[in-house]
Structure formats: structure tokens, C-alpha cells
Amino acid sequence: MMKKIMVLRVGKTIATGCFLAVLLMPNGVIAAEKKSWKVSADLSLVSCNGNTKSLTVTSKSKFTYDWTKTGLELEAGGLGSQNNTGVIAEQYFSSEKVLWKWSERNYLFEKVRWDKNRFAGIKNRYDSSAGLGRQLIKSEKDNLIAELGGGYVIEEQEPSGDKEYAAGRAYTGYKHKLSETANFEQSAEYLTNLKDANDYRINTVSSLTAAISTYFSLKLSYQWSKVNMPPVGFAENDTITSASVIFNY
């Protein structure tokens, strides 16, 4: 219980502190460094009426800021779906990530993420990690990064109960510029329980984004998540295919 309270307090303190630091930044600094920060928000909505009535909504927002040696990423999002029988899908997440660049291509990072997905048996998951990252490829059209680290995970599962463990994490992210207005992105993440190699998770996201104006883009994405040892009564695999509108600033 003490570990859970400490992780919660640390995660909330880091995320709140980083967010307030940006909000309290002098206006002159923001004006002078406009190219250093970005905000994006995407929304997808599907409504069916007639023989079948259903509504599915997904949304996500992301804020990034790059200082000379430090970077900040804040993300939050959710998905909800309901039909004639009631709610059939509901999940939320939020995360913060701080990077410290110690050379042109190498950096240290720390990350805290919270997930809730009650239709996958996850009441709450608190995932904190830290490690090393490197920009393997950096060119006009291609960008490839890799990260390796470890951390601690606390899961509140239903109906299986709580689970805590030290975890290992490996991540890679690739971005390819198809044209002046279109990009392809692919990411893959592997997380494992250091005490049980069979207890692992895999997350992959493939996406294609095309700009339709200065501030708006269209995005097609496919997300696959695998939990090798899911809570009792739940499936190992989840997929999400979506088409959304993105606002960039």
C-alpha cells in the first residue's frame, strides 16, 4: 500500500509540476520560442442509427516542448463506445515524459503513465519507468529512435486482484516523410515482468497522416495490444482501427 501511495504521489507531482511550469512560463518566452512547442488534438466519432444504434468516440491530446537540453511530453486520451445494451468499451490514459539530452543523439528519460480499461479487466495501472534512448537515424525523410529501461508497475485488476512488479521496457519509434504533407509512423513497445518472463505486454501503433490545411490533418491508425497473462476472463489481444481529424498548433 505504501508503494502504491508513493508511486501515485510521485507521478502526480511530476506531471503537475511539469504542466504548471509550462503554464507559468512568461509570455515573452513562449512568443520567442514558438517553434519549440507543439499542441495536437484528434477526435474520431462513429454513430450508427437504424437497426443498430451505437456511438463510438475517441479523443487524444498531446503537448510537447523542446528546450536546448530537455524535452517534455504530456499526453491524455480516451475511448468510449455504447450500443442498445449499454456501454461496451471504456478506456482512458494519461502520461508525462521528460528527456535529458546528453549528446546530439543520446538522452536519458523518465516516464509515468496511468491507464484504465475496465473492459480489459484493468481498474487502474500505474507504470513508471526510466532509461536510455538514442536517435539511430536522423535525416530529412527518416527518423528512428530506440529506448531501453526499467521501472515499476502497479495494476489494480478486476476480478484478479492487485499486482505489483519490477518491469523492463524496450521501445522503438519510426517516422517517414512521404511528401511535404504526408507522414507514416510506426511504433512498438515491449514491457515484461522481471520476475516472470511469461507476463509481458506488447503495444504497436501504425499510422498515416495527411495535412489538409495549415492546422488540420486526417489520420488513419491501427493499434494492436497484447497482454500475455490478462486478468481472468479477458482476452489477450485488443485492436483499434480509427480515422480521425487532428488539430495541430
Q: Is 214 helix (H, G, I), strand (E, B) or coil?
A: coil
Alpha helix stretches (DSSP H) within 104-204? none
> What is the DSSP-derived secondary structure letter of residue 230?
P
Write out the residue range of the structural domain in which residue 39 sits: 2-248
What tens digit of pLDDT does each residue of 94-114 get? 999 999 999 999 999 999 999
The reported pLDDT for the residue numbered 46 is 82
Binning pLDDT at 50, 70 and 90, where does residue 85 land? confident
Contact 44, 246 (CB under 8 A): no
The reported pLDDT for the residue numbered 33 is 47
What single letter denotes the amino acid at residue 2? M
Output phi, psi for 4, to 5 deg. -65, -45
What is the overall mean pLDDT for the chain?
88
Q: How many domains does the chain have?
A: 1
Of residues 86, 85, 90, the one with CA closest to residue 57: 90
The reported pLDDT for the residue numbered 5 is 38
Binning pLDDT at 50, 70 and 90, where does residue 71 land? very high
What tens digit of pLDDT does each residue of 32-50 get? 445 699 999 999 988 888 8
CATH code, domain with 91:
2.40.160.40
What tens digit of pLDDT does each residue of 120-179 get? 999 999 999 999 999 999 999 999 999 999 999 999 998 878 999 999 999 999 999 999
Q: Is 108 helix (H, G, I), strand (E, B) or coil?
A: strand
The reported pLDDT for the residue numbered 23 is 44
